[in-house]
A and B are shown apart, each in its own frame.
Chain A
């Protein structure tokens, strides 16, 4: 909402510097987003008066005007032949900044000799002052303009650009904002009832109004003016509308807009001759009814929408926009003025259905008071009579089925301290509320007040609202600052929160960068990784790329890997912790939290230490194993097949009977479809909740043996198909084996075909004595014989 300061001054005296005023409005809830000042550049421009005019001795099309500017007089050469003695004009002294009518730029006024005559200043056009595009005439000021006063003081203005919150429809008006200012400055509002004479016949004889659907229209007021002359509005009105961002149309329409801006009540003017049957019926539209709105678009109405109809057809979409057929045009002579109150929900639905938001619908949908219709209608009638002539019919039609009693709040003043933390004295409460337009009445108990809410404050209905009124006027700076002193609630521990952070730290410790991807993805991209039948679809996606909620973190990770490969030389390691979503019928989806990682590229960045190969399955597995070890989880890795992953390089991660995730390499075909470089892409996925369940196991301390370890190597030859883990499991079954580490894997000429050699370093240790050579040999023999029996293993010679 844009509000010119000059307009506000008509309703309230403003003694405060503009910046402070803007500060007060902002702090109390109506944010001033910007201030546009006109006349900022009007230095050395004064109100002047023409005291003599003489012909230019050397040019017929120029005149010499002598101008009095209060502290002196100057003679200037003037190209406007229509100037008259006594005219008040803007007079620019030498050095003033004026807009060049050709370039549009500000140029300082220099002394000039025009056709041999010296010109010491200039009588300015509106364009030269930056007020409008008119430049053929010298601007004339009102006859009562004070000579010698700087023009900026006389004509300068400031337009406040306000951000009005949805709860304050009253502040979508000049008067509403003026009321705010009045309350801040403890000023009375300069408001009076608009007065005009009604010279026409009684209105009831000329027109009738009927409300059929009172649930959608609480009040309908109308006045009628006959014999108007439609013409452009006077400059002051046009300037004001333009300052508020509205386009001037004609005096009638401009008045309706002007009063809407001033009072906050939308109005509509009909060309009365186009109202069939001289009847207005406020009713729901019938199915199939159509209307061409003022913007020239034909719109289909339905029974959900409220129409203003004449005896036959809709002539306006109530509260949203008028119809083109009854529009006020140049030839209009009779005007029916509507000032009504419509149901906010209905207006909002209608305007959103029609995708038609107007200044009117914005105000109605926020719920303005039906009490506002009458003063606004009177004001508009008064202005039309003044600007367009004509005679007003006697009386005003007022159909008011939705009258409600004024709201009164029983205000326990103790609520102030209850909500704010500090007390206000009763006198202060009453004073603030009174300046805001509330009426405070004494109730028996001295603590309480009966507060009557002014009709325009539709947002206030309870004690808490009144407390806010007080707080925003005294200012929040006056509220004390205390720390919470209430009882600390009993904490309910949600392990997953700290667990998730522990996982993050572990992954970072393993050299991974954390990523955060969008929850939305395209079906196509998801389908590359995981079936999408139970994916949740958005009803209104921003784009097909964001149509579905993700069912896997991998598509996002693969995409960001591809994007980063374009500029990274080193290996890339990303992890993400986030939710995946699975539809569950009509219920909220199943949201599961996943930890996923992706790694690809050089294992060790290019360096002078030489190449260390590329990241692959075993890097991913190593990370998973390390992370799980830290969580005290002992996983098993089972080969498994998964469509989007490499057929021979995927393992399911098992903890006991529970499958907690996957580790593997991405299928090269899938990798290619994500435009990834042709190299292994390793991934892992872990379900966090399942992991947490496994990790909950209490840890127990195992004593550290005081006796020395003996370390022996053992190379074992088995069939290539035997999983290495089988050997490890068997060896670990011996109580003296403290640790077993695979340190070499060999296939080739040195072992028979179909066989592989696995070399293990085995550490033996006892908790209660030092092992003897004989014991060691016995254990080794037992290990070998068990391996041989169970796996057909032999000792490599």
Chain B
């Protein structure tokens, strides 16, 4: 009996070693360890053995069973692993094939720039305020210290709704500055506001002129606001928008609704200030106009210029991506050609 068991073990182990797939393995299991398997029958036949043989044969059969089960498990793991490798090998793909097409959305470059500008000023406590695109002459000009028949009006070629000129004449706002008046008329200092929006100019379009574009206006009014605050605010803005290394400067300029009036420029990022075509050989690129709110403008909205001071600034939005990306034609912005828009 013991020899029989020994032979059974040897045979089973030998067979197991030669098995190379899970199907055969299962058959092997049934053959030896199954309910009707060889080892099971041996164990079942133990009862017919004499009592003294029974114990030793039983112990041996159990040892063999444990051994075979362990071998089976090991073999099974090996074969499973092998099989998985084969399956994965089958499932190999060409990873250089293109992925599933996704429709990718994008914001217009003007919107992207507007957001950048607004974010910077909002972080400095400016609040965004908006107003109408069709304006009264009064807000667009008169209240901003630009009376009728003043040559300064030549600075803003205007689309008119009404032909009769007067305070109640309507026009497409030529700048976002009317919002200064609208805001001051309805609130009291302190004011710290940012006013973005579309503006219009009666100008034939070419590579550098558009009849419609965006501006961002800024206004801060309170007691004790000075031009050094304006400088600090705008230089900080320039640093954050154009980079740490950019230098900014103020120069005297004229806008009827500020006094003193300035223009801010940054050093040319193309030539680093040495002079090139982009900066017309000046080394500087104009970015915006600004100044201290004109006493007459304050008086117009019943703010006492002896008590309050303030600063205002206004900038064209498209100019920034135009410079930044080296775009040579402003008409591309509102031509909405996907081949252009997709680049931003």
Interface residues, chain A, CB within 8 Å of chain B? 26-29, 31, 165-168, 344-345, 348-349, 362, 365-366, 417-422, 462-465, 467-468, 471-472, 476-477, 479-489, 491-492, 494, 496-497, 501, 504, 507-520, 536-542, 546, 549, 560, 563-564, 567-568, 570-574, 579, 581, 586, 588-589, 591, 604-605, 607-609
Contacts and interface: CB of A to CB of B under 8 A. Distances in A.
Contact of A166 (B102, B110, B152, B227): B152
A514 B333 CA distance: 11
A514 B190 contact: no
B337 A514 contact: no
A682 to B, nearest CB: 14
A196 B339 CA distance: 72
B100 interface: yes
7 contacts: A468-B259, A471-B227, A482-B232, A484-B124, A510-B105, A515-B341, A574-B336
B312 interface: no
Nearest to B225: A486
Identify which of B152, B155, B341 gathers the most chain A CB atoms within 10 Å of its CB.
B341
Nearest to A604: B101
Contacts of A512: 103, 105
A484 B100 CA distance: 51
A27 B100 contact: no
Contacts of A539: 159-163
A563 B336 contact: yes
Interface string B86-115: 000000000001101111111110110001
Contacts of A421: 226-229, 231
Given A508-B107, A511-B103, A479 B231 contact: yes
Contacts of A564: 336-338
B251 A464 contact: no
B254 A167 contact: yes
A348 B149 contact: yes
B155 A166 contact: yes
Given A482-B232, A581-B133, 7 more contacts: A420-B226, A472-B252, A477-B250, A494-B129, A520-B212, A579-B198, A591-B134
Contacts of B256: 167
A419 B223 CA distance: 11
A492 B127 contact: yes
A517 B336 contact: yes
A544 B242 CA distance: 40
Given A167-B152, A586-B168, A476 B127 contact: no
B215 interface: no
B334 A517 contact: yes
Contacts of B130: 494, 496-497
Interface in B209-253: 211-212, 220, 222-229, 231-233, 235-236, 249-253
Interface in B102-144: 102-108, 110-111, 115, 124-125, 127-130, 132-136
Contacts of A468: 252, 259-261
* Residue of B104, B105, B129, B228 with highest tally of chain A CB at under 10 A: B105
Nearest to A487: B190
Interface of B: 97-98, 100-108, 110-111, 115, 124-125, 127-130, 132-136, 148-152, 154-155, 159-163, 168, 170, 172, 187, 189-192, 198, 200, 202-205, 211-212, 220, 222-229, 231-233, 235-236, 249-254, 256, 259-262, 282, 292, 294-295, 305, 309, 333-339, 341-342
Given A27-B251, A608-B98, A540 B159 contact: yes
Contacts of A574: 336
A591 B132 contact: yes
A515 B111 CA distance: 10
B220 A484 contact: yes
B141 to A, nearest CB: 13
Contacts, number: 254
A608 B130 CA distance: 48
Contacts of A516: 108, 110-111, 333-334, 336
B134 A571 contact: no
A213 B94 CA distance: 92
Contacts of A541: 159
Given A464-B259, A507-B105, A489 B154 contact: no
A537 B172 CA distance: 11
Given A29-B254, A464-B294, A479-B227, A560 B154 contact: no
B190 A519 contact: no
B342 to A, nearest CB: 8
A538 B105 contact: no
B250 A476 contact: yes
A599 to B, nearest CB: 9
B226 A419 contact: yes
Contacts of A365: 149, 151
B254 A571 contact: no
Which of B103, B172, B292 has the most CB atoms of chain A within a 10 A radius of its CB? B103
A480 B250 CA distance: 12
Given A462-B295, A484-B192, A538 B160 contact: yes
Nearest to A347: B149
Nearest to B212: A518
Contacts of B334: 516-518
Nearest to A498: B128
A568 B338 contact: yes
Contacts of A166: 150-152, 154-155, 254
B211 A546 contact: yes
B150 to A, nearest CB: 8
A28 B252 contact: yes
Contacts of B229: 421, 482-486
A486 B132 CA distance: 29
Contacts of A510: 105
A507 B235 CA distance: 34
A476 B264 CA distance: 10
A504 B110 CA distance: 13
Q: Which of B115, B211, B252, B309 has most chain A Cβ within 10 Å?
A: B252
Nearest to B248: A481
Given A488-B125, A588-B170, A538 B159 contact: yes
A509 B292 CA distance: 42
Contact of A29 (B200, B251, B295, B338): B251
Contact of A542 (B202, B253, B342): B202
Contact of A519 (B148, B198, B204): B198
B107 to A, nearest CB: 5
A483 B236 contact: yes
B202 A514 contact: no
A481 B211 contact: no
B320 to A, nearest CB: 15
A480 B228 contact: yes
A665 B103 CA distance: 20
B151 A348 contact: yes
Nearest to A507: B105
Nearest to A568: B338
B190 A488 contact: yes
Contact of A483 (B187, B190, B233, B341): B233
B108 A484 contact: no
A565 B294 CA distance: 51
Nearest to B100: A609
A607 B168 CA distance: 59
Contacts of B262: 476
B161 A536 contact: yes
A-B pairs with lowest CB-CB distance, top 3: A421-B228, A511-B103, A421-B226
A36 to B, nearest CB: 13
Contacts of B192: 484, 486, 488-489
B299 to A, nearest CB: 11
Given A365-B151, A484-B125, A517-B336, A549 B104 contact: no
A167 B147 CA distance: 13
Q: Name, among A29, A516, A536, A581, the residue most crowded by chain B CB atoms within 10 Å (CB to CB).
A: A516
A605 B338 CA distance: 15
A511 B104 contact: yes
B228 to A, nearest CB: 3
Given A516-B108, A519-B133, A464 B295 contact: yes
